[in-house]
């Protein structure tokens, strides 16, 4: 999830009345972490989405370099999660695909699974319960619920399956599902444009992440000491026992994306964080804080030992010797970059996508009960960070690659973030 709340939280006053923000205990880490738990005021809303409750495993969290920034991040994510879940009163249209016509965006083109992945779905779903469940083949005559979406470039409106649009409308294991909605490309913001920008940046981040990880792309690292404005965090990272790396994984779209990695001195217990930003600096900072947030989950997995789901497999199979992480030892450091005079805004980001021929739509998910603009951005061409291999971009060459492995992406360990 992503949101456009990083400083202050005056716009989040209503959301703050509906959630209790719990600050997580920290030691000397110069980053704050928190979770948002629904309070009695929210629970009394008659159509409040049960799919967003912590009991389902979905929990809004936030992080920031300050207490206020962390709180704003946390409440923004809470607004995003609850807005993007199914409340049961969504304005959907019920029809067959051919009744919608060319305006219908098929679920298969949104899900991004390859034909081979769908053929192998039974074995996959059995082995990977709870991780990226694959739906059955859709009957062409099936009657579906559809949600109207806006073309980001001013083209004709389109319709997407409601199962894809709304979190919790369908859950893993539902054989009637044609998609299972997740948070990819969802974002809240202080304004509609801010929410749209944050939603796009998350899609761009996930696209670059999938291409980097499953393409095993060798990328330049970034010197932590070249970052400005976060000297306290950088000094702390450099002084502790774990090692930290930054990779510039910006794709051909030319919107800055950074991957952060940390590991124990022996290269094990890897934690990752990713972010796309309006500048390389903002992307690097957000990637580092997400990496530290993952370290909390990693620490819990170490404490619990066996039977911690995908974490046990992650800790066993992934180290700094795993491509593309292995290539960090070469230390090909990207040149220091001064901060841009003006960060990229929504129009800049849209122009970058249009230049690469990337399609993009927006679904408005804003709920009056929360009063915060929330949008889902979606594309049939951008890759997912999850192992979905139908996208032509996934293994396509990129001029920024120092090298890449064109082997089967299915051989790569599943990415946990």
| Per-residue pLDDT at 43 exceeds 90 | yes
| Per-residue pLDDT at 219 exceeds 60 | yes
Contact status, residue 319 vs residue 379, Cβ threshold 8 Å = no
| Per-residue pLDDT at 138 exceeds 60 | yes
The closest of 53, 51, 60 to 22, measured between CA atoms, is: 60
The closest of 319, 326, 317, 196 to 267, measured between CA atoms, is: 319
| Per-residue pLDDT at 11 exceeds 90 | no
The mean-pLDDT minimum among 187-201, 255-269, 301-315 falls in 301-315
Q: What's residue 405's pLDDT?
A: 84
Whether the pTM exceeds 0.85: the reply is yes
Give 349 or 299, the one with higher predicted confidence: 349
Q: Distance of CA 376 to CAs 47, 55, 180, Å?
A: 21, 24, 14
Strand order in the sheet with 333-334: 271-276, 257-263, 243-248, 221-222, 333-334
Q: What's residue 338's pLDDT?
A: 53
Q: What's residue 341's pLDDT?
A: 44
Q: pLDDT digits over 84-134, tens only?
A: 999 999 999 999 999 999 999 999 999 999 999 999 999 999 998 778 999
Q: Domain extents for the chain?
A: 216-334
Mean pLDDT over each residue of the chain, to the nearest integer: 93
Using pLDDT thresholds of 50, 70 and 90, give the confidence band for residue 315.
very high
For residue 220, what is the DSSP state? -
Mean pLDDT of 306-329: 85
Using pLDDT thresholds of 50, 70 and 90, give the confidence band for residue 5.
low
Residue 250 exposed, middle or buried by CB count within 10 Å (0-12, 13-18, 19+): buried
Q: pLDDT digits over 184-215, tens only?
A: 999 999 999 999 999 999 999 999 999 999 99
Q: pLDDT digits over 69-79, tens only?
A: 999 999 999 99
| Per-residue pLDDT at 337 exceeds 60 | no
Q: What's residue 9's pLDDT?
A: 57
Helix segments in 87-169, DSSP class H? 97-100, 107-111, 115-119, 121-127, 162-165
Contacts of 390 (CB under 8 A, 6+ apart): 112, 113, 114, 115, 117
Mean pLDDT of 262-291: 97
Which numeric CATH code is attached to 216-334?
3.30.160.660
């Amino acid at each position: 999830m992503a949101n456009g709340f990083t400083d202050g939280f005056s716009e989040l006053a209503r959301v703050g009345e509906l959630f209790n923000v719990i600050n997580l205990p920290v030691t000397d880490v110069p980053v704050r972490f928190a979770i948002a738990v629904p309070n009695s005021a929210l629970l009394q809303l008659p159509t409040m989405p049960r799919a967003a409750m912590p009991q389902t495993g979905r929990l809004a969290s936030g992080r920031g370099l300050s207490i206020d920034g962390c709180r704003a991040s946390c409440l923004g994510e809470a607004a995003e999660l609850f807005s993007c879940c199914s409340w049961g009163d969504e304005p959907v249209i019920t029809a067959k695909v051919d009744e919608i016509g060319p305006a219908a965006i098929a679920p298969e083109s949104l899900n991004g699974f390859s034909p081979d992945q769908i053929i192998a779905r039974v074995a996959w779903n059995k082995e990977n319960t709870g991780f990226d469940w694959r739906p059955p083949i859709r009957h062409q005559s099936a009657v579906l619920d559809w949600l109207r979406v806006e073309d980001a470039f001013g083209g004709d409106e389109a319709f997407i399956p409601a199962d894809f649009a709304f979190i919790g409308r369908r859950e893993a294991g539902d054989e009637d599902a044609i998609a299972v909605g997740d948070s990819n490309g969802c974002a809240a913001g202080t304004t509609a444009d801010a929410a749209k920008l944050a939603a796009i940046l998350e899609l761009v981040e996930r696209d670059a992440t999938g291409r980097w990880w499953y393409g095993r792309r060798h990328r330049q690292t970034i010197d932590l000491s070249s970052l400005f404005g976060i000297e306290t965090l950088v000094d702390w990272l450099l002084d502790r026992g774990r090692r930290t790396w930054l990779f510039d994984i910006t794709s051909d779209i030319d919107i800055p994306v950074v991957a952060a990695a940390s590991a124990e001195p022996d290269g094990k217990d890897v934690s990752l964080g990713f972010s796309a930003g309006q500048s390389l600096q903002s992307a690097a900072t957000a990637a580092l804080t997400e990496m530290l947030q993952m370290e909390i989950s990693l620490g819990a997995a170490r404490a619990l030992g066996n039977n911690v789901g995908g974490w046990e497999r992650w800790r066993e199979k992934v180290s700094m010797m795993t491509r593309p992480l292995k290539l960090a030892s070469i230390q090909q450091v990207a040149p220091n970059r001064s901060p841009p005079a003006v960060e990229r805004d929504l129009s800049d980001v849209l122009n970058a996508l249009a230049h690469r021929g990337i399609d993009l739509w927006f679904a408005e998910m804003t709920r009056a009960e929360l009063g915060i603009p929330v949008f889902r951005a979606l594309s049939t061409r951008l890759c997912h960070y999850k192992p979905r291999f139908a996208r032509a971009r996934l293994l396509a060459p990129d001029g920024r690659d120092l090298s890449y492995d064109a082997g089967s992406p299915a051989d790569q360990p599943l990415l946990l973030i």
